[in-house]
Amino acid sequence: MKIFLLYKKQRQTFFSILVVVFFFLGCDAWSGLDLIITFDQADGLKPKAPLMMKEVKIGEVSEVELNEQQKIVAKIEVLPKYRKMITMGTTFVLSHDGILGTGDTYIDVIPPPKPGEPIASDTIIKGTSKMSYWIQKGGKILKSSMKNLTGLNKRLIKELDAYAESPEGQDLQKSLEELLDKSQKLGEDSYKLYREQVKPVIKKKADAFLDHLERSGKKEQLKKLKKDLEKLLE
Q: Give tens-digit pLDDT for 93-133.
A: 998 886 445 578 999 999 998 888 999 999 999 998 887 77
Per-residue model confidence (pLDDT) at position 195: 64
Q: What is the pLDDT of residues 12-70, one digit of tens each?
A: 554 455 444 444 444 454 578 999 999 998 888 999 999 999 999 999 999 999 998 99
Domain assignment of residue 119, yes or no: yes
Could you tell me if 175 and 216 lie in one domain? yes
Could you tell me if 170 and 111 lie in one domain? no
Among 102, 129, 156, give the residue marking a domain's end: 129
Domain assignment of residue 137, yes or no: no
By C-alpha distance, which of 40, 198, 221 is closest to 129?
40
Q: What is the average pLDDT value for the chain, to the nearest integer?
A: 72
- Number of structural domains (the chain) is 2
Determine the Cα–Cα distance for residues 29 and 200; give it in Å rounded to an integer: 52
Determine the Cα–Cα distance for residues 200 and 227; give it in Å rounded to an integer: 17
Among 129, 156, 184, give the residue marking a domain's end: 129
Domain assignment of residue 139, yes or no: no
Lowest mean pLDDT among 84-93, 142-151, 187-196: 142-151
Could you tell me if 37 and 114 lie in one domain? yes
pTM value surpassing 0.75: no
Domain assignment of residue 184, yes or no: yes
Determine the Cα–Cα distance for residues 201 and 225; give it in Å rounded to an integer: 18
Range of the domain at 52: 33-129
Domain assignment of residue 7, yes or no: no
By C-alpha distance, which of 91, 188, 77, 74 is closest to 130?
91
Could you tell me if 122 and 150 lie in one domain? no
Domain assignment of residue 140, yes or no: no
